[in-house]
Amino acid sequence: MSVIPFDRFACPIDLSSLTQTNTVFSCAQKHSFDQSQKGYVNLLPVQFKKTKDPGDNQEMVLARKSFLETGQYHFIMDTIIDFLSGIVSSHPSEPIYCVDAGCGEGYYLDRFQNLFVRQFPNTPLACLGYDISKEAIKKASARSKTIHWAVATNAHIPVLSQSVDYLFCFFGFPVPSEFYRILKKDGLLFLVDPGEKHLLEIRKKLYLKIKKETPYHLNMDKFPQFKHIKTISRIKQMELLSDTDLFNLIAMTPHIHRASAEKIQTTLRCSFPSITADIRINVLSPADKS
Ligand SMILES: C[S@@+](CC[C@H](N)C(=O)[O-])C[C@H]1O[C@@H](n2cnc3c(N)ncnc32)[C@H](O)[C@@H]1O
């Protein structure tokens, strides 16, 4: 197996290099962070927290984990691996450093690592997944012991500058300046977002009016330090969702907070022959990085 340790941690406070000695990560300024018994490290100092328990709560994390494990979204990472196949095989001996920003309970990064080592067995791979939610990272740590996991925020990414080849942000909250800082000059950012038809059947039941369908468009003004490489669209009709899957699909999205409790109950009683997954994978690269 070509998995190698992720050894490009930066101190979240001063961005200097963090080194690991046994279960302690520390920097030259003597900031130190303990690895938990579950294996993850908490790199979210209290001064970076706006609430006591930021990020997704346990219910959302469990709903997402259960839904993703049905395999309905496998096609998303399959598409990314397909895209990478030409690029990776042209540099077979270079190690690849990969980060999943806002990784949730770790489904996507774990799938990425499994598919990647199978497809590119000669390319060493180091992976870090981080999320601001401790509940999510606890679940991620149980999912894979060969991936490094951290509690951390996109606003202060605990990773050295110019050290990452592939950076993923699935349905997350990008901080473009930090993403730019940690990517190598030829690194790639994969931003995965819902398209305009995503979960349309459910949204029609949850809301009296749904927003007019304007075609999906990534606003590059929000990513001034990046150039756009490609947008890949994937639409899938998800069939045979059980009642539990339908509940989890709603509970893992902001709809669980936005829609009224009554509408959610009515929607859960509906039967949906199929539900649309409309996914956009945007590939960006840092512009003008020397
Ligand atoms: C919609 S979920 C997506 C989770 C995962 N990427 C997935 O698709 O399964 C958004 C995630 O972003 C996390 N999050 C929110 N704010 C964050 C921040 N500032 N930095 C890092 N993660 C954050 C939440 O805790 C949550 O796990």
Per-residue pLDDT tens for 142-173? 999 999 999 999 999 999 999 999 999 999 99
pLDDT at 89 over 90: no
Ligand 1 pocket: which of 69, 132, 138, 139 to mutate (most atoms <8 Å of CB)? 132
Residue 171 CB–ligand 1 contact under 6 Å: yes
Residue 264 CB–ligand 1 contact under 6 Å: no
> Cα(103) to centroid of ligand 1, in Å?
6
182 domain residue, yes or no? yes
Q: Which two tokens stand for residue 96?
A: 């690849």
Residue whose CA is at the smallest distance from ligand 1 atom 8: 170
Q: How far apart are CA 149 and CA 140, in angstroms?
A: 7
25 domain residue, yes or no? yes
Residue whose CA is at the smallest distance from ligand 1 atom 5: 104
Query: How many separate domains does the chain show?
Result: 1
- If you ran DSSP here, which 8-state letter would residue 9 be given? B
What confidence score (pLDDT) does residue 245 get? 96
Residue 129 CB–ligand 1 contact under 6 Å: no
The domain spanning residue 108 has which CATH number? 3.40.50.150
Model pLDDT for residues 98-124, shown as the tens digit of each residue: 999 999 999 999 999 999 999 998 899
Structural domain boundaries, residue 180: 19-195+214-235+279-286
Q: How far apart are CA 80 and CA 168, in angstroms?
A: 10
What stretches of the chain show up as alpha helix (H) in DSSP? 58-68, 74-89, 107-119, 134-143, 176-182, 200-206, 243-251, 255-258, 261-269
200 domain residue, yes or no? no
> Cα(104) to centroid of ligand 1, in Å?
5
Quote the mean pLDDT of the chain.
94
Q: Which two tokens stand for residue 116?
A: 């990647």
Q: Residue 131, exposed/middle/buried by CB under 10 A (0-12, 13-18, 19+)?
A: buried
Residue 134 CB–ligand 1 contact under 6 Å: no
Band the pLDDT of 77: cuts 50, 70, 90: very high
203 domain residue, yes or no? no
174 domain residue, yes or no? yes
Q: Residue 218, exposed/middle/buried by CB under 10 A (0-12, 13-18, 19+)?
A: middle
Least confident among 73-77, 127-131, 213-217, 228-232:
213-217
107 CA: nearest ligand 1 atom: 9
- Residue 97 gets the label, from left (phi > 0), alpha (psi -120 to 50) or beta, of beta
176 domain residue, yes or no? yes
Q: Which two tokens stand for residue 36?
A: 């938990």
163 domain residue, yes or no? yes
247 domain residue, yes or no? no
